[in-house]
Structures are given as structure tokens and as C-alpha cells.
Amino acid sequence: MKKKLISALLMIAVAVLIVVPSALAGDVANGGKVFSANCASCHAGGKNLVNAKYTLQKADLEKYGMYSIEAITAQVTNGKNAMPAFKGRLKPEQIADVATYVLSQADQGWPK
């Protein structure tokens, strides 16, 4: 019985550790600075000046399967279509910060 309880608690702990870091992946303030310097020319205010269909608004991020730290991190790191890859241009920590910033702003409706 004790082994089953320990196993169950261990599984819960692992599940929490897997879920929680993605919500706290980066620094929002630093992400805002990185975004302003590298992303705002195409994505100011959560828009997309290259392809208006793919904005950074929450509804569009959800619609296109991009509403997660992991998805945004992959997009910023590897690029896709007209979006350039930032791997090598930005440090992994900066990419995590900008992904956190994008989700934060999407949740707030991209306030001015």
C-alpha cells in the first residue's frame, strides 16, 4: 500500500513539474524588450503585417495551434514561411522570454 501511495504521489509531482514550467517559462518584461527590438516591425500590437490572417491575438493563436509556450518557441526558433528563424540570432532564454510575453499580451488582448 505504501509503495502505491508513493508511486501515485511521484506521478502527480512529475505531472505538476511538466505543466507548471511552461506557464512560467520566461520573463515577461525582458520578453517585451526582445519583442520590441526583433518582432514589433511585423507584429506590433499583436498584428501580422505580412499575413493579416495569422495574428498574435489569442483567438488566432488558439485557432492555428499556437497558443502555448512550446509552439511559439518553436515558431520563433525555426521560423516558417515568411517568418525568419531567430535561432542563432537570439539566445534560447530570449526566445522563451518573448514567447512568454506574446502569451501574456494575447491573454490581455494586446493592450496599448
Annotation-wise, does 42 bind a ligand? yes
In angstroms, how far is the first alpha carbon of the chain from the final one? Answer: 56
Task: Classify residue 14 by burial, with Cβ atoms within 10 Å: 0-12, 13-18, 19+.
Answer: exposed
Output phi, psi for 108, to 5 deg: -95, 5
Annotation-wise, does 1 bind a ligand? no
Annotated binding-site residues for heme c read: 39, 42-43, 83
Annotated binding-site residues read: 39, 42-43, 83
